[in-house]
Structure 1
Amino acid sequence: MIYLDNSATTSPYKEVLDSFYKVSQGFFANPSSIHYLGGEVEQLLTKAKEQAASLLNVLPKELIFTSGGTESNNLAIKGIALQHQNRGKHIITTQIEHPSVLEACRSLEQFGFDVTYLSVDIEGKVSPEQVKAAIREDTILISIMHVNNEIGTIQPIEEIAAISQQYPKLFFHVDHVQGLGKVPLHLAHEGIDLCSMSSHKIHGLKGTGLLYIKRGTSLYPLVHGGGQQEEIRPGTENVSGIVAMVKALRLTFDNQKNKIDEISKLSRSIRECLAADSRIYINSPKTGAPHIINISVPGYKPEVVIHALGKKDIFISTKSACSSKHSDESAVLAACGLEQSRTMHGFRISLSFYNTEEEINQFCRTFLEVLDELSDVMGR
């Protein structure tokens, strides 16, 4: 099997599975219980949070564990909006955000919030100047992803963070789900107030995520309950998932130091091979994240190609897994201004630290063979 859909989800590290099983079996008590079993689990939870904070270079109290990237994004956006609506009701984001950001913003429009959806250039990038020009007296939140989940564009987060610092009453949220472990981001930057992360994108388990909330930033909780996690995200903690996520975070950061050049090399190989075929257009910018390569093949139905590849044990996707079952058109490619022959016929190839040169060579050969086979069927 050749798995090249790692932006949708990744296969868990063996060590992550081992950690999850060990904690589930031996540390099953409720960390809020006052007996010694509960105390042991509470200590384990505290240690896991301290380790995560050390890896991310933030304070333990600045981290809230969630169920994943979608919850983290919703908690950040709605939490800020509801808590600080007396300051203003204007939010800034872009047209190419993940659905969990776009839909969260659209839901707030029903409650009187005004959202500016910034356009992007042909590479999917928003300029800091655009962001600054959109800021108004009543702006309370800017939410922009670090790495685009479909085409891999890296946004100028530090420049936007520097701009946000100039406006003390607004907050800056970064969706770092696709960049985590692949493209460095310094959370300690003074202009970043909130940052979302997800476990299953870094070889952890589904159902666990992180939200960084800079010290002094207040949120309105979306859930009310027993007061766990600073009363921002109450409910009995998923200690097994949290420990497993921290293990995945450490291993991924180790791989980022040692193996990111290998991913870049594989990405270049894919680009060179596919770009040589006149039927194929490369949509991802050369300066984008190395693990995401988006292409278009006009005239070929993406689902037909993907099913044909699947029969050969090769797996890629069309776009974000969270939107792939909706409209055939990629909203991200459309926002980049590409013609419909490309926006309707896009594919996403996404790499992990475990893909090999042999796999990439096999994928490229097979992909072109599938196009040839389908051309014969279509009488081209």
Structure 2
Amino acid sequence: MKRAVYVGVAAVWLAAFMPLSTLGAPRTQPVAAGLENPWGLAFLPDGRYLVTERPGRLRAIAADGRLGEPIAGLPAIATGGQGGLLDVLADSSFASNRTFYICYSEPEARGSANSTALARAQLSADGLRAENLQVIFSQRPKVASSSHFGCRIVEARDGTLFLTLGDRFSRKEDAQRLDNHLGKVVRVAKDGSIPRDNPFVGRAGALPEIWSYGHRNGQGAALGPDGQVWMHEHGPQGGDEINVLQAGANYGWPTVTYGENYGGGKIGEGLTAKDGMVQPLHYWVPSIAPSGMAFLTSDRYGAAWKGNLFVGSLKFGYLDRIELKDGKVAAEHRLIDGRARIRDVRQGPDGLLYVLTDESNGKLLRLLPD
């Protein structure tokens, strides 16, 4: 499959270097504290929150902020570095099936290698255990690395699950190969089976789970108002990207990138564009180290914010409010600037935004309108 997809490089360049402004800083309201490096957030119909802690714990937090005991029954998790228990997603029918999904770094049975895995389970009636746990996807190959797991989960409108997968840092060239899961986004059904309309089904030498490839390390993904899956991914040193996922598309890593090697120097041939590789919708230089992604669909913050995209910055510790116009980034605004590393951002059932701060005494914060 050969394609040339460009979105106006000049426009992207201008947006990438557009200065951030500090406008309309919202008030933050603490919901919970005492979380150890929280990573993922999901909302339950009864007002509770499910929050993952990277060292391997999943907790239910009461509506009043009380932390529950760690939920029992989780699988073996490889912790350390960037690895651990990462994303969590409540099924769209959680109220009737009590099903949730977790993404985590899965150790191999023997040895030091690991990979990203996706499991489903039911939350017990008392909220204390994960029951009927089943691993529905396991990235291969496993790699002896503690970096670049990706691990954001999105449920699409048709009920399929998208999962971002990192290149594991030491295997970046594999992101361009279709015979492995490194540097990919995969799409599976909720039981782990392969949807028949996946783009590489039936193609020799290609894994049928793959939806798109040429990714580096996507730690933010969300279902857009257009029904497409949006994601962002870390660049190496500069070149963090926002991409809208297309079936079968190649997003270029490591052949093309707006970043450079750590310490300086071009990556590969130093290309920023190549025929058949999708240009990012937006990129950041210098890197902001993005994590978490959410669209605001409510009007709780007024018309100016509705439809905006929100992304956390780990490097600079702010929440980025991104205005979109005609499918492009028109402006960016720093919110809760310098508060802490923002690991995740979600819109709650009440229409308000919630963020997780990635720290040893991590917090769940609610953003209140002015």
TM range (shorter): under 0.3
**Higher Cα Rg, which structure:** 1
Query: Would you tell me which structure has more helix in proportion to its own residues?
Result: 1
Query: Would you tell me which structure has more strand in proportion to its own residues?
Result: 2
- TM-score, reference length from structure 2: 0.28
- TM-score, reference length from structure 1: 0.27
Larger RCO: 1 or 2 (CA < 8 Å, sep 6+): 1
